Structure 1
């Protein structure tokens, strides 16, 4: 899947094209863990503690009860092989993908 320029993220959903839940249940954390060293400014593998956090370009989350991985399109420009890897993962496992732009929740209102 090639993301269009107007979208900033591709959501890889934990649902197959047939609508079945993808297994294993921790697939999103595993995929994001593999991608954790790909981050802005180069590989995070040389920074203290970098191995303990996900890349901001590949983040596991849950949306409407469905596990997914949000992949920022900046990964495509900075690490083309890593982009190909995650997109191939989605395609090879027949996972649904959605182009979108993640909008953060607004800050809580002050009392």
Structure 2
């Protein structure tokens, strides 16, 4: 369950029973589906980059998707879709805050 105060939700590519989720490109696929959902809405060519609200990454060797709460505020149905994807596939989720790399500006 994700709290309503969560700023970011991490969907991990590990199922609740400890197995690695397949296919191996699931995070990129999910983030690709979410690419139109971005500040200012979909733009021409926006399907060519990930939304800043739904970013695939690898943390400690585990594929993850970081979903920002701004998505919930802008597009509640898209937020529900992402969380239901995690629930339906029995994926681990967690609430956290992704910190920028040293020398990187905050978005």
1:37 touches 1:50 (CA, 8 Å); kept in 2?
yes
Quote the Cα distance in structure 2 between the aligned partners of 1:52 and 1:29. Answer: 12
Quote the Cα distance in structure 2 between the aligned partners of 1:104 and 1:27. Answer: 23
1:60 touches 1:68 (CA, 8 Å); kept in 2?
yes
Q: Which runs of 5+ in 2 are unaligned?
A: none
Local SS of the residue matching 1:75 = helix
Quote the Cα distance in structure 2 between the aligned partners of 1:3 and 1:41. Answer: 26
Q: Which runs of 5+ in 1 are unaligned?
A: none
**1:51 aligned partner:** 47
**1:68 aligned partner:** 64
2:2 touches 2:95 (CA, 8 Å); kept in 1?
no
**1:30 aligned partner:** 29
Q: Which has the larger radius of gyration?
A: 1
Find runs of 4+ consecutive structure 1 residues off by over 3 angstroms. Answer: none
Q: How many residues align?
A: 104
